[in-house]
Structure 1
């Protein structure tokens, strides 16, 4: 019976981490459904992006209020959870505050004191975030795609953080050996008087209860990430590193189409010289994307990384002028469809069974796609280097090249270019008449 708590702790730890690993494997499997893409270029720039954007939060602070609050929560929550290492060691080996035993008192007190200050700052920041969402009601949190689960998810994660920070402070405040050390209890010393009059045995029960709830809560939080937009806590780093380092206005060309155009423009080329088999090998199975499997693995990683913060949508000129397009919804729809495909694979023993649905049409409409002005505002605004525009362009490419479903205005323009060498309906002989006016 002496080792029962340690065995129970080990079992909970294994179950929590095991379930998390299982879900992470599903995410990796789903992302690998996408097309492979080479992201090995320009490594120095990629590492810089990782340092400045992912670690340094450089794009977050472009909006100072939310950016500053996010940094507090981000830094505070990560650093405070360093103490989880101590909790895990104590839980597995039956020790109590092993850091207090092996570290110098001043150093241990400094660490715990810093954790307590950060815990209070996290509580203040989380409270302000909740007020912004639910009382002030910032406009970008009120869009149609933010109803139901997305809205609840944003609040649930805030409640999680409040509970975990409070448990941490209560655990410290009711730990008599820690309080008697009188070092590091910068905040908890003011909470300890709330428990005056309690017997030593009762204080021990409260401290142990807070300790257990704290570690179990962290494991629940870890596994909740799979179902939440807060998966970006983990995925933001690979997503930023693998993000495009090309100029934002550069359009990715299809090699098969480029070769065809070169052939057409070469007056000496014999279009019948190349074997048909070679041309077939060079041409992709499908131009553009109509479903998640047609997108690249990085685009699917983008979808899982989306924080649903709405900065992209709030900067989108199409959305601001009342168009149906919301870049945030594009990413959320892509993730939802990818999850649907993943569940389909799970239900059919590792094989995808055609469900008669696809991303284009069932989730994202033509109207949304053609509302985009390709200005790259959404790409510029995203704090974790997500590129909604790349998905929009791939789906547009499918509509034009596979379905010939471009809007009439675009078809007219392309016809004019083909016939007149310019997008305007003027005869080629009249193209320079403007200079005589």
Structure 2
């Protein structure tokens, strides 16, 4: 019976980490359903972006209020979770505050943890007010109804509960230290939780131990639950933001890649020895699809983008098409891509391989009206705090519509016909294009 709590802790830890690993493996499998990208660009610049954008949060502070609050939560999450290492060691080996031997350094760490915990609670309350009372416009878009809205609030509640449990655990521990209770090492400074001592001053030693142990267990179990909630939540960006920024574009944002499939077709047309009417040789490679109509046509980086989306709405709030009332929302493009990818993944889980479900990303999730509303201005790409590129998905779907289905809007078809015939998008003969200079 002496080691029962340690065994229970070990089982809880193994189950929590095991289920998290299971879901992360599914996530990696789903991302690998996309096309592999060979050329990634300057690695040094990519690492620089990781330091500046992901670690340094440089794009977050463009909007100071949200940016500063997010940095507080971000730093608090990273630093306070250093305390989780001590909890794990204590839980496995039955020790208590195993790092107390660090002396003044430990005191400083606990004090900083507590201050950050309080700041995190304040920041989370501000976030909740902005979403639910102030109701900022970018949180009220149609795609943010239902689960996305609830998910955002669940995360905020989770964080408040975890920080409150941490401070409650410390307050009860501090009181037990003052009582000289066995097993409660004299260690740590408690600049925040010490204000909770009046709540515990009249409690017996046994009651204090129950409060401290309950808060301790709920805190670590809550962390394990939150860890596994990440896969189902927009908060997955906690893990994916760093690799996503690393793989973000380092070429000028207005530059689009040539399709390899188009290049092959052009080379075939230019080859004087090629027979365009010849049947494909046996075992020959099937010509690649032009553009994308479903998630498996997208690149792995684009699928990583979809899972990394924080649903913050900065992209949509900067989108000129959205601002003028059009249906396009870059955030919805990413959310739809992720939802379709999850649907494909569940199909594979059920059948062992993907079985045609009669659906695709285009039309079943993203409408053509949304795709053609885009002005390709790159405002969404520039605004994203974690280097997500909704425009690349829009352009790939456009390429599919134009090159596979000849389904471009009439205005675009007219412009392309004029370019083919006249060398310009306007309906004037090439010989007449400079007539304007003769007009007085």
TM-score range, shorter chain: over 0.9
Shift of 1:78: 1.3
Deviations 1:92-117 (A, max 9, x none): 000011111x212x111100000000
The reply to whether residue 216 of structure 1 matches residue 218 of structure 2 is no
Shift of 1:436: 1.9
Q: Distance in 2 between matches of 1:276 and 1:156?
A: 58
The structure 1 segments of at least 4 consecutive aligned residues displaced by more than 3 Å after TM superposition are 176-183, 258-264, 271-278, 280-284
Partner of 2:183: none
Shift of 1:257: 2.3
Contact persistence 1:39–1:242 (CA under 8 A): no
Task: Label 1:273 to 1:285 Cα distance change in 2 as closer, same or farther (>3 A).
Answer: closer
Q: Which one of 330, 334, 355 corresponds to residue 331 of structure 1?
A: 334
Range 269-278 or range 407-416, more displaced: 269-278
Partner of 1:42: 42
Task: Label 1:282 to 1:347 Cα distance change in 2 as closer, same or farther (>3 A).
Answer: closer
Q: Which one of 372, 376, 390 corresponds to residue 392 of structure 2?
A: 390
Q: Which one of 205, 212, 220 corresponds to residue 207 of structure 1?
A: 212
Unmatched segments (≥5 aa) in structure 1: none
Partner of 1:5: 5
The reply to whether residue 312 of structure 1 matches residue 315 of structure 2 is yes
Q: Which one of 341, 345, 356 corresponds to residue 344 of structure 2?
A: 341
Unmatched segments (≥5 aa) in structure 2: 180-185
Q: Aligned with 2:87: secondary structure? A: helix
Shift of 1:434: 1.7
- Counting only pairs closer than 5 Å after superposition, residues 114-129 of structure 1 correspond to structure 2 as 114-129=112-127
Shift of 1:365: 0.5
Contact persistence 1:179–1:185 (CA under 8 A): no
Q: Distance in 1 between matches of 2:90 and 2:268?
A: 71
Q: Aligned with 1:204: secondary structure? A: helix
Q: Distance in 1 between matches of 2:431 and 2:268?
A: 26
Q: Distance in 1 between matches of 2:89 and 2:39?
A: 39
Partner of 1:99: 99
- Counting only pairs closer than 5 Å after superposition, residues 415-434 of structure 1 correspond to structure 2 as 415-434=417-436
Q: Which one of 241, 249, 253 corresponds to residue 236 of structure 1?
A: 241
Q: Distance in 2 between matches of 1:2 and 1:183?
A: 27
Shift of 1:259: 5.3
Task: Label 1:135 to 1:33 Cα distance change in 2 as closer, same or farther (>3 A).
Answer: same
TM-score by length of 2: 0.94
Q: Aligned with 1:325: secondary structure? A: coil
Contact persistence 2:261–2:288 (CA under 8 A): no
Q: Distance in 1 between matches of 2:35 and 2:135?
A: 39
Partner of 2:26: 26
- Counting only pairs closer than 5 Å after superposition, residues 65-104 of structure 1 correspond to structure 2 as 65-100=65-100, 102-104=101-103
Partner of 1:167: 165
Report the aligned-residue RMSD: 1.8
Partner of 2:201: 196
Shift of 1:138: 0.4
Q: How many residues were matched structurally?
A: 430
Deviations 1:323-361 (A, max 9, x none): 00000000000000000000011110x200100000001
Shift of 1:263: 7.3
Task: Label 1:199 to 1:421 Cα distance change in 2 as closer, same or farther (>3 A).
Answer: same
Contact persistence 2:171–2:193 (CA under 8 A): yes
Task: Label 1:387 to 1:284 Cα distance change in 2 as closer, same or farther (>3 A).
Answer: farther
Contact persistence 2:176–2:209 (CA under 8 A): no
